[in-house]
Homo-oligomer: A and B are copies of this chain.
Amino acid sequence: MSWKVTLKVSQSKKSVKSKKQTKRKRLSREEREKQIISEAVRYFSEVGFGGQTRELARRLGISQSLLFRYFPTKDDIIKRVYEEVYLSRWKPEWETLLSDRSRPLSDRLNQFYHEYTAAIFEFEWVRILVFSGIKGVTLYQQYIELVHDKILDRICTELRATHNLPDPGKVPLTERETDLAWNFHGGIFYIAIRKFIYGSETREDFTAAIEDSISVFLAGVPSVFKSILKK
């Protein structure tokens, strides 16, 4: 028979937590739930969804069993983590911004990607997005669709307008045009992958890189348009 000796450290004085949790611990249902999700986002984005509920509880300073008083299963926690991370990041004003033809497309793209990457280029966000792809969770599909419908389609539409080509309402977008936009967007998003997944990118500010990327894109697109129109 083996004995596991657990060292019981006295916590009578003060908790070491940075939160205002001095000596009370009993929180309201809503507060505790929020707290759990918030820490779960941080935790799972660090270690992946293989992370253990015990460690999550330890970080929260609560017992592991309490987690299961709030969420029936671990997967339910993960589901909520997705929702938390995906939702409420997209700003509707970006859609009008991209379509505002009173400004040069170059300006609009620069402002959009500046704000967009500021909202998205975050450790938790990027990693959880990639994890979701690996886990085969369907939620990422919503993200891909959002990018496609709200960003890429708009960019393609504006490119048409800039080059005095017919609106997609009249002549539907071709696969080649969408590919171009994906390629452009992917190049920018790949910065985030290098940074948060591979850790090979240590810079904080990518304004210059994004600016140049937009510059190359806008200057290079006409060459493909010419090739498309030849057919």
Binding site for B on A (CB under 8 A): 48, 50, 127, 130-131, 133-134, 136, 140-141, 144, 176, 179-180, 182-191, 193-194, 197-200, 208-209, 212-213, 215-224, 227
Contacts and interface: CB of A to CB of B under 8 A. Distances in A.
A134 B133 contact: no
A184 B183 CA distance: 8
A93 B218 CA distance: 33
A83 to B, nearest CB: 18
Q: Within the oligomer, what is the number of copies of this chain?
A: 2
A193 B197 CA distance: 13
Given A179-B209, A183-B212, A197 B133 contact: yes
A216 B209 contact: no
B227 A221 contact: no
A211 to B, nearest CB: 9
A180 B141 contact: no
Contact of A144 (B136, B200, B217): B200
Contacts of A212: 176, 179-180, 183, 224, 227
B189 A190 contact: yes
Contacts of A140: 198, 200
A149 to B, nearest CB: 13
Contact of A200 (B141, B215, B224): B141
B209 A183 contact: yes
15 contacts: A130-B130, A133-B197, A140-B198, A141-B198, A141-B200, A144-B194, A144-B200, A179-B213, A185-B190, A186-B190, A212-B227, A216-B223, A216-B224, A219-B219, A220-B221
Contacts of A184: 187, 216
Contacts of A179: 208-209, 212-213
A197 B133 CA distance: 5
Contacts of A136: 199
Nearest to A184: B187
Contact of A182 (B182, B191, B227): B191
